[in-house]
Structure 1
Amino acid sequence: MIKGSATVLGIALIALILAGVVLVFSYVQTQELRSLINSQQGKLEEIAEGVKSLGSRMNSSAEQISSLQERIDELSRRLADVESKFTDFNSSLTDLKKAIEESKFPVTVIDASGNAVTIPKKPERIVSGAPSITEILFSIGAGSSVVGVDQFSNYPPEVNDLVNNGSIRIIGGYATLNIEEILSLNPDLVLLDAGLQQKYAEKLSSMGITVIVLKESSIADIFNDILLLGAVTGHMDEAVTLVNQMRSMITATYQKVIQYMNQTGSEQVKVYYEIFPDYWTIGNTSFLSDVLSIAGGINIFSNESRAYFVASPEAIISADPDIILLNYNYGYYGNAEELISKVSSRQGWGNITAVHDGRIYVFSAGVEDLMVRPGPRTAIAIAIVARVLYPEAFGITQVPNEINSTVIEGWGLSLNLG
């Protein structure tokens, strides 16, 4: 009985031990599970905090997106307004170009004499009294309406061809116009230069001929005359294009010179320009004074109000120019070498800086024409003079004393604009 009880007690004890083991094991599992749960709970809280932060950031992003959308909408509205304005502008520009192309007449302009001149319709028979005027007319596409020119109008080359085949007639010299010849051409517009041709303008006007007088005393005057001729001939669009082309070339030359002078600290050179022997030169009311100035030079007679005058040798010697420029004048006074020799040997000129340094230059062989004619090719004249005055600015190592077409072609220039 006792033995049986012991057995039962043993079994019970074993069961209790097993239960304890199970309990301990369960406790351990529970603790591990609790630890795991706590760990996961921490991660869950981190995730929840992340989700909360993400939600906040999403709300912020949503607000930013909403704000950005509002800005986009506003910009779109502004863009639409700008596009609308550009559409209106382009429409207006198209209308303007159409009006220009149609050449609405009558046109009234104020010429250099201060006279109001009305052109009732597009001219079909134009007479030009000066080479510069002829060049402008052909440059803006009005050459087909020209029926008469002075004897010195030789550019563009087609002018000579038209004269030779009789399409254009010569009306006399620049300062000796033939009134009868002009009248015989039955012109509906005569274009003359102020100064020497003023008397012809007055006489023709008194005879009922429509006359416009031009005066190119500066670069600005040249631009204005080109635009004026564009208006009265029905070629305004071409005139605007030509002026812009000239301005671009002149600006490029000027900037090149200024850049060189700033980089090197060079001073402006003083220039004496003798257009005719002996001592005929330019004052500040000649467009050539502008040419010198824009090219970086100083006209030694820039304080003189007369456009052209005879200077005193003493004044030239006293001014001591760094450079002397001469015109070839079609060889009437000798070739380039002879002209330079005559100038250099003048009494008292040996000490002039330009003579001493050998910086006397003659414009010849076509170059002198574009130099002295206030027209489209004045932009080229400025480019040429700038290279003579400051050759280093343009990568030129040596400037020959005679400046002809071959020389300027070597400089990348041409007798023709464009």
Structure 2
Amino acid sequence: MKKFAGLLLSLLLAAGVLAGCGSAEAPAQQQKQEKTAEAFPAEVKDASGKEIKIEKEPQKIVSLMPSNTEITYALGLGKKVVGVTDFDTYPKEVKDVEKIGGMEFNTEKIISLNPDLVLAHASSMQSAEEGLKQLRDAGIPVVTVNDATSFEETYQSINMIGEATGAKQEAGDLVKSMKSDLAAIKEKAERISESEQKKVFVEVSPAPDIYTTGKGTFMNEMLEAIHAKNAASEQEGWAKMTEESIVKLNPDVIVTTNGATSVDEIKKRSGWSNVKAIQNNEVYDVDPDLVTRPGPRLIKGVEELAENIYPDVFKK
């Protein structure tokens, strides 16, 4: 009997401790929910220049761009995402989310998902104008996220999505973390003197139509951040170049975003044998999503570039 009484007392005490923990956590969670609820109705000025009114906290979100999706998941809103594009690959959870098409999205499919927020993108604002109008006519708030081409513009995208979804605090924390990580990389890059800086050619589209990244692109800003010189810095945006002009640039390093097989193809190109990057075996492949998708993983893209171009400085 005494054993039973002791066991009962232990169980009651354990239950009390657990209840205490639960009650301690509950107010914090409740405060967060109340704070989010207070953020609505909200008006968000999007990339179209319009003030988009969102009456209540979105519970079902459809993303029309992989970068929007990555940001939404990074803000802890993955469970609210009910539709993504055919091109979405990250995070891995998106493989189980309903697909709504590619650049030409399925308007009827989106409406059938009954979303209370659609995150569109400025890059397809004109081409998808009719489809976006149909969504708005169906009473669905559509926020067009800016087409970011720099870190600062990416931070704007994150804050815009945070404001539209009620995750303003999370967006601010994410931006702060990204800025801190980028600053750490830049600080490490200070060790690289001007005479040690390497000239890098970035190939974002393979032969026969070779495209590279010039001024006004993420890749250019990333190279600057790690004290590397963009061999195509005279070009503007995404530029097409001939093989002859690339060979003439004679880069120290060639970076491709077209897969590992592209590395071998570049090394075997006729007339490229005297290029420094070929002679010194400095041709590398990097994950295109990390260096071209304006989202939270851009910092990882900078790290990958840095570790390939300056392994002695950046590799642990």
Q: Same fold (TM over 0.5)?
A: yes
Paired residue for 2:305? 385
User: Partners of 1:313 and 1:327 in 2: how far apart?
Assistant: 17
| Equivalences for residues 19-418 of structure 1 within 5 A | 101-160=36-95, 163=96, 168-173=97-102, 175-196=103-124, 198-208=126-136, 209-214=140-145, 215-258=147-190, 260-262=191-193, 266-278=195-207, 279-306=210-237, 308-329=238-259, 336=260, 338-363=261-286, 367-394=287-314, 396=315, 411=316
One-letter code aligned to 1:309:
A
Q: Is the contact between residue 62 and residue 82 of structure 2 (CA under 8 Å) also seen in structure 1?
A: yes
Q: Cα–Cα, structure 1 residues 311 and 100, in superposed 2: closer, same or farther, change >3 Å?
A: farther
Q: Cα–Cα, structure 1 residues 207 and 239, in superposed 2: closer, same or farther, change >3 Å?
A: closer
User: Partners of 2:189 and 2:152 in 1: how far apart?
Assistant: 20
User: Partners of 2:113 and 2:47 in 1: how far apart?
Assistant: 24
Q: Secondary structure at the match of 2:284?
A: strand
Larger radius of gyration: 1
Deviation at 1:123, TM superposition (A): 1.4
Identity of aligned residues (%): 35
Q: Is the contact between residue 134 and residue 153 of structure 1 (CA under 8 Å) also seen in structure 2?
A: yes
Q: Is the contact between residue 205 and residue 211 of structure 1 (CA under 8 Å) also seen in structure 2?
A: no
Q: Cα–Cα, structure 1 residues 391 and 157, in superposed 2: closer, same or farther, change >3 Å?
A: same
User: Partners of 1:113 and 1:283 in 2: how far apart?
Assistant: 26
Q: Cα–Cα, structure 1 residues 113 and 353, in superposed 2: closer, same or farther, change >3 Å?
A: farther
Whichever structure has more helix as a proportion of its residues is 1
Unpaired runs of at least 5, structure 1: 1-96, 330-335, 397-410, 412-418
Q: Is the contact between residue 63 and residue 118 of structure 2 (CA under 8 Å) also seen in structure 1?
A: yes
Greater relative contact order (Cα < 8 A, sep 6+):
2
Deviation at 1:135, TM superposition (A): 0.9
Q: How many residue pairs were aligned?
A: 280
Q: Is the contact between residue 206 and residue 262 of structure 2 (CA under 8 Å) also seen in structure 1?
A: no
Per-residue CA distance 1:70-94 (angstroms, 9 max, x = gap): xxxxxxxxxxxxxxxxxxxxxxxxx
Q: Secondary structure at the match of 1:154?
A: coil
Q: Cα–Cα, structure 1 residues 311 and 113, in superposed 2: closer, same or farther, change >3 Å?
A: farther
Q: Cα–Cα, structure 1 residues 324 and 113, in superposed 2: closer, same or farther, change >3 Å?
A: farther
Per-residue CA distance 1:68-125 (angstroms, 9 max, x = gap): xxxxxxxxxxxxxxxxxxxxxxxxxxxxx89854441222222223333222221122
Deviation at 1:313, TM superposition (A): 2.1
One-letter code aligned to 1:341:
D
Q: Cα–Cα, structure 1 residues 142 and 274, in superposed 2: closer, same or farther, change >3 Å?
A: same
Deviation at 1:202, TM superposition (A): 4.8
Q: Cα–Cα, structure 1 residues 325 and 110, in superposed 2: closer, same or farther, change >3 Å?
A: same
Q: What is the root-mean-square deviation in Å for CA atoms of aligned residues?
A: 2.4
User: Partners of 2:34 and 2:216 in 1: how far apart?
Assistant: 36
Q: TM-score, normalised by structure 1?
A: 0.62
Deviation at 1:247, TM superposition (A): 1.0
One-letter code aligned to 1:172:
G
Q: Secondary structure at the match of 1:304?
A: coil
User: Partners of 1:98 and 1:211 in 2: how far apart?
Assistant: 23
Q: Secondary structure at the match of 1:350?
A: coil
Q: Secondary structure at the match of 2:119?
A: strand
Q: Cα–Cα, structure 1 residues 187 and 283, in superposed 2: closer, same or farther, change >3 Å?
A: farther
One-letter code aligned to 2:198:
V
Unpaired runs of at least 5, structure 2: 1-31
Deviation at 1:237, TM superposition (A): 1.0
